[in-house]
């Protein structure tokens, strides 16, 4: 059975059927909390709860941490940007952990950015160190991945396309909303990763709606097998696993290989795209 962890400015909580139960812990980071499983288990069985809606929830992933992401990892998204999934390699990039923000705050658009984009993703949360050279298999995956979070890989597409720069375009403050819950999973639950559905709406209009299985190119075991060849990972770090079709990038006719007038497309996008909670 999954356990959902919530975080506020002064406490950690377990979401139960009756509300949120405060975790009796001295943990200040996600890594420290994950090491205090007895406190989590005690809160999960507590009847002393408060309404979840009364809490001002923050990201359940604390910073600093490593934020690693898989690029073009869903076949539908790869096809949508004009590429062949069969010829798409497993690729990683990094985001600054300063981009991590809570699930309900504003996305702060830098004044020079013309086109913001969304990418709904599932984040894998690491519960222990994964040293370089570690052999990852289906049998031991749950030893390292202990939880899942909903994330949004916000991108400044005009920066990304003109500079061919992933790190900058995806690392501005507030560009990685996370949460609200960190869902702890066991080995059997992790095996059902492919059953998860990614669904995102913009102002009530569904833009992304896809089940993971059958669309993801490199699932968690393959991803960690590749990542562990060169990147050390610690408890509390997260790996974003990619996004399906439906981003604003192709909604407005922009493709990495397309012969386009980028300025015209961006101007049209600003005029036509429904406004998102954002501030300059």
Q: pLDDT tens across 118-153, in order?
A: 999 999 999 999 999 999 999 999 999 999 999 999
Q: Are residues 224 and 135 in the same domain?
A: yes
Strands (E), 142-196: 145-152, 155-156, 176-184
User: In this predicted structure, what is the pLDDT of residue 261?
Assistant: 41
The secondary element (H helix, E strand) that includes residue 223 is helix 220-227
Of 264, 274, 263, 256, the C-alpha closest to 81 is: 256
Q: What is the DSSP string of 257-273?
A: T----HHHHHHHHHHHS
Per the CB < 8 A criterion, the answer to whether 20 and 47 are in contact is no
Number of domains present in the structure of the chain: 2
In a domain, 136, yes or no: yes
Q: Are residues 126 and 234 in the same domain?
A: yes
Token pair listed for 244: 């399906």
Range of the domain at 46: 3-54
User: In this predicted structure, what is the pLDDT of residue 35?
Assistant: 98
How does pLDDT run across 34-64, given as a tens digit for each residue? 999 999 999 999 999 999 999 999 999 999 9
Q: The whole model's pTM is what?
A: 0.89
Q: Are residues 188 and 94 in the same domain?
A: yes
Please report which confidence band the pLDDT of residue 161 belongs to, taking 50, 70 and 90 as the band edges: confident
Token pair listed for 121: 């993703």
Q: Are residues 143 and 41 in the same domain?
A: no
In a domain, 61, yes or no: no
In a domain, 62, yes or no: no
Distances (CA, A) of 57 to 34, 145, 191: 18, 23, 28
Torsion angle (degrees, nearest 10) of CA 10, 13, 15, 20: -60
Please report which confidence band the pLDDT of residue 33 belongs to, taking 50, 70 and 90 as the band edges: very high
Token pair listed for 47: 């009847």
- Torsion sign over Cα 211, 213, 214, 219: positive
Residue for token pair 């569904």: 206
């Amino acid at each position: 059975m999954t356990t959902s962890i919530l975080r506020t400015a002064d406490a950690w909580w377990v979401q139960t059927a009756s509300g949120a139960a405060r975790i009796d812990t001295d943990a200040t980071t996600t890594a420290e909390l994950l090491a205090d499983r007895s406190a989590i288990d005690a809160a999960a069985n507590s009847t002393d709860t408060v309404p979840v809606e009364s809490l001002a929830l923050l990201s359940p992933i604390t910073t600093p941490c490593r934020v690693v992401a898989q690029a073009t990892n869903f076949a539908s998204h790869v096809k949508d940007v004009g590429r062949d999934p069969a010829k798409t390699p497993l690729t990683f990039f990094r985001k600054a952990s300063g981009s991590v923000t809570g699930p309900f705050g504003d996305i702060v658009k830098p004044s020079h950015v013309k086109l913001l984009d969304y990418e709904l993703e599932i984040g894998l949360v690491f519960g222990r160190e994964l040293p370089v050279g570690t052999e990852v298999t289906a049998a031991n995956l749950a030893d390292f991945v202990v939880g899942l979070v909903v994330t949004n890989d916000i991108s400044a597409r005009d920066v990304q396309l003109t500079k061919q720069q992933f790190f900058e375009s995806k690392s501005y403050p507030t560009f990685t909303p996370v949460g609200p819950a960190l869902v702890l999973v066991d080995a059997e639950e992790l095996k059902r990763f492919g059953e998860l559905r990614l669904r995102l709406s913009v102002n009530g209009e569904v833009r992304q709606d896809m089940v993971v299985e059958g669309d993801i190119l490199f699932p968690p075991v393959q991803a960690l097998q590749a990542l562990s060849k060169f990147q050390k990972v610690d408890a509390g770090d997260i790996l974003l696993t990619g996004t399906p079709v439906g981003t604003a990038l192709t909604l407005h006719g922009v493709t990495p290989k397309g012969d386009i007038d980028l300025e015209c497309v961006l101007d049209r996008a600003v005029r036509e795209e429904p406004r998102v909670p954002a501030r300059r």
